[in-house]
Amino acid sequence: MKPEKSRRSAPTVKPRPAARPRSKFVLRLFVAGATARSRQAVLHLQQLCAADLKGGCTLEVIDIYQQPELARANQIVATPTLVVEFPRPMRRFIGNLANITGLFVELDLIPARKLTV
């Protein structure tokens, strides 16, 4: 009998995960009319997009009085409501958006070291 040839398998090389490209944030803000609270929520988010996200975001403002079908489709029950569509998972923030930067830091949407005061 001949000794069986041992087959050497090539070492398994695990591919490195590619560096995650910085994706653009997709935000939807649902407001009720042109109230002071609605204007303040829009202003806070515009500042966040400009300063902390460096323009890497798309902000869509939806007035539920003008587009009630979108409010129904997105199951909006209170305003202001911020919906973070992308990156996934989808998140919703309802109510006072005065400290939205703190919320984004907690959810790792922006690093804590990038906070602007």
Judge if pTM exceeds 0.85.
no
pLDDT tens digits, residue range 53-100? 776 888 899 999 999 999 999 999 999 999 988 888 888 888 877 776
Q: What CA–CA distance (Å, rounded) separates 60 from 53?
A: 15
> Does the structure show a pLDDT above 50 at 14?
no
Residues 6+ apart with CB under 8 A from 79: 30, 31, 32, 37, 38, 64
Q: Which two tokens stand for residue 70?
A: 């979108």
Q: Kindly list the domain boundaries of the chain, sorted by start residue.
A: 25-112
Res 47: pLDDT: 82
Q: Specify the CATH number of the domain 25-112.
A: 3.40.30.10
- Structural contact between residues 53 and 25, judged by C-beta atoms closer than 8 angstroms: yes
Res 98: pLDDT: 73
Q: What CA–CA distance (Å, rounded) separates 103 from 15?
A: 34
Q: Is 78 left (phi over 0), alpha (psi -120 to 50) or beta?
A: beta
Question: Average model confidence (pLDDT) for the chain?
Answer: 76
Of 26, 42, 24, 46, the C-alpha closest to 34 is 42
Residues forming beta bridges with residue 79, ordered by sequence position: none
